[in-house]
Amino acid sequence: MRDQLSDALKTAMKSGDKKRVSTIRMITSTIKDKDIAARDTGKPLGDAEIVEVLAKMVKSREDAAKQFEDGGRPELAAGEREEIAIIREFLPAQMDEADAEAAVKAVVAEIGATSVKDMGRVMAALKERYAGRMDFGRISGVVKAALG
């Protein structure tokens, strides 16, 4: 994942795409910050942790874009959406609705969840298996429906 980011940065620099260069630099800077924070464990972030970082970056930019839209600043919202598109290039492909529902049903059956009280266990298992490939804010409604 780090090599992919490094290669993408070099390509963006050669092509002169300033927005892409600044976004990839921001990604690598955020990953380095997380690496420094994780020094207690003695190992740098792995690909799974990098995917989590990228997913959080997308989420924060989506929130910012919404706030800019609500505040009447569509040009700033468009800038956030450009960054979202660039960050998403480095994330694994998102599951479609049918695949996500099938994954939820499989996990519910596997762990023997029967009521909404088991939602935490189901969500934890989904996050462990499908980190970065599923929007867990949206999928929580599917989990509730499967358990309710």
Co-location of 66 and 8 in the same domain = yes
d(CA 134, CA 123): 11
pLDDT at 74: 94
Co-location of 102 and 39 in the same domain = no
Please check whether residue 100 is in contact with residue 134, taking contact to mean a CB–CB distance below 8 angstroms: yes
Mean pLDDT of the chain: 88
The number of folded domains in the chain is: 2
Q: Which domain holds residue 120?
A: 97-147
pLDDT at 85: 94
pLDDT digits (tens, 9 = 90+) for 56-68: 899 899 999 999 9
pLDDT digits (tens, 9 = 90+) for 23-40: 999 999 999 998 888 887
pLDDT: which is higher, 115 or 80: 80
d(CA 142, CA 145): 5
53 pLDDT above the threshold of 80:
yes
**Number of residues written out for the chain:** 148
CATH code of the domain in which 105 resides: 1.10.10
Co-location of 61 and 116 in the same domain = no
CATH code of the domain in which 50 resides: 1.10.1510.10
**Three-state DSSP class for residue 11:** helix
10 pLDDT above the threshold of 90:
yes
pLDDT at 67: 96
Co-location of 84 and 107 in the same domain = no
Co-location of 66 and 13 in the same domain = yes
Alpha helices in 16-133, H assignment, sequence order: 18-37, 47-70, 74-88, 97-111, 119-130
Long-range CB contacts for residues 59-67, cutoff 8 Å, separation at least 24: 61/87
d(CA 12, CA 47): 22
pLDDT digits (tens, 9 = 90+) for 73-105: 999 999 999 999 999 999 888 888 888 888 888
